Structure 1
């Protein structure tokens, strides 16, 4: 499926306005905010390619075009859709390899739908689609190099594992199953059919170790943020608290079918913003 030209050129704030990301980024100074919305727009566009129902060869070609465009950006020949990224790349030292890693992660869903990856593959997927985004973001936020990379590692994985646990049924509807093969086998589940797995009685036994893994990554991310300036970590802390709230709602609901959707209510979101956005 070809990307909608209007969407590809949309104002970054408008593109992101329906997401939890938006509130966390609005608190940033203008240059940082613009850079983060550019990163968000890039991620949204390559994700839309991976998630579309177009022919797989066309999606692979569209993702390759993004690789070529990123290469051109870093060679000083930015294509039209990336011309306003130049100042952010230079100003914040954004790395080409992180943009390419995100494309690689999105592409993992394209040749065939992901179904019950082994744990190492799942971790690689989380690194590419989430922690690589974090590695770009922490440069914009201004974290020190070592702590920034560590925060991206842990917070990216925490957020992505939370997404996977939240979206079991939605992903099953797309023919995808991100729960790890080792966990399924340990729970006595041998099928990799997403719909069948989502209805398995022992599914909570698969999910609970991922809950613990996500909590551990959240805790380690919190430790990193606690030793850095509150102002520098405002945006990632808001994202962390918001997603931690989602995880707690999932734990309270449980993972047995049928599973009602969970969402953080408006008052809880406001409370997080008031607590962490104001220094």
Structure 2
């Protein structure tokens, strides 16, 4: 994806290759072939719109590229996809994927493309999490074969748990691109001025804000676990792995702490492989 003259790629990407660098790749690999292929297509879409939102192209170009994706998704549902989206259209039909969930993902990326997010209020942060994370979950649980109500609830809680983990892990990386997703209300409670992301990231009171957000993430993980405990085991093997991987990342982030200087959080590969083996084999 070019960063200075965004054009939606008309060629069909290799969805498996696009997905291979994802934290979710191992969870997808353990699925039966039909489900695995569908998840690769969903992830390739999510990656494409995320790349647009995170590019350094002019905002108008990013917004236009995202709107092109909205038109492309509608074309899939109208039975007239561009060639690169023929496979995605097939998965939409096979698993009855919902148009509004694809649109919600685009809406979330449009929030990043429109302006640098800094200290959103609680409602805006929750909406953002729903769009960029839980919407992908709502697409995924239909592939996994979960019941409607349980799948929707799992998407709500696990999506928010994963996105809050990302926010806590990536404070410095986000600040470097002039973003801060920590909510205004929590910052104000600790006397942190929501002026700019770098100042927020450097504030000595930041760990108290992060501790509160981490508690929320853990609560969402716990609710997701309860939903998966009550679901058929086969339907939740992949989300179990996704949850396990991100819970490890949250644990590592909390072990690192939020005082300066902060180091990057690495994925503990051997532990992640154990998580995959646990849910894939037993």
Query: TM-score category by the smaller chain?
Result: over 0.9
Q: Could you tell me whether the CA contact under 8 Å between 2:118 and 2:194 is conserved in 1?
A: no
**CA-to-aligned-CA distance 1:205-258 (integer Å, 9 cap, x gap):** 111111000000000000000011111101000000110011111111111111
How many residues are aligned here? 278
- Displacement of 1:81 in angstroms is 2.1
- Tell me what 1:185 maps to: 188
Aligned pair partner of 1:57 in 33, 55, 60: 60
Q: Greater CA deviation, 100-109 or 68-77?
A: 68-77
Q: Residue in 2 aligned with 1:86?
A: 89
Question: Which residue among 247, 262, 273 is the counterpart of 1:259?
Answer: 262
Deviation at 1:264, TM superposition (A): 2.6
Q: Quick check: 83-92 or 38-47, which moved more?
A: 83-92
Question: In the alignment, what sits opposite 2:219?
Answer: 216
- State the alpha-carbon separation in 1 of the partners of residues 270 and 7 from structure 2: 35
CA distance in 1, matches of 2:227, 2:41: 25
Taking structure 1 as the reference length, the TM-score comes to 0.97
Structure 1 residue 228 and structure 2 residue 226: aligned?
Answer: no
**1:4 to partner: Cα distance:** 7.4
- State TM-score, norm by structure 2: 0.96
Indicate the residue corresponding to 2:123 in structure 1. 120
1:101 pairs with one of 99, 104, 112: 104
CA distance in 1, matches of 2:263, 2:107: 32
- After TM superposition, list the pairs within 5 Å mapping 1:147-226 onto structure 2: 147-226=150-229
Match of 2:147 among 121, 144, 149: 144
Deviations 1:29-54 (A, max 9, x none): 11101110000000000000000000
Q: Which segments of 5 or more consecutive residues in structure 2 lack a partner in the other structure?
A: none
Q: Which runs of 5+ in 1 are unaligned?
A: none
Is the contact between residue 8 and residue 65 of structure 2 (CA under 8 Å) also seen in structure 1?
no
Residue of structure 2 aligned with 1:276, choices 258, 261, 279: 279
Q: Which 4+ residue blocks in structure 1 deviate beyond 4 angstroms?
A: none
1:41 to 44, 54, 57: 44
Q: Contact 1:3/1:45 (CA < 8 Å) preserved in 2?
A: no
Are the counterparts in 2 of residues 135 and 148 from structure 1 also a CA contact under 8 Å? Answer: yes
**Shift in Å, 1:3:** 4.7
- Deviation (angstroms), 1:263: 2.0
CA deviations over 1:161-193 (Å, ceiling 9, x no partner)? 000000000000111010000011111111331
- SS of the equivalent of 1:232 reads helix
Root-mean-square deviation over aligned CA pairs: 1.2
Task: Tell me what 1:2 maps to.
Answer: 6
Contact 1:3 1:49 in 2 (8 A): no
Partner residue, 1:16: 19
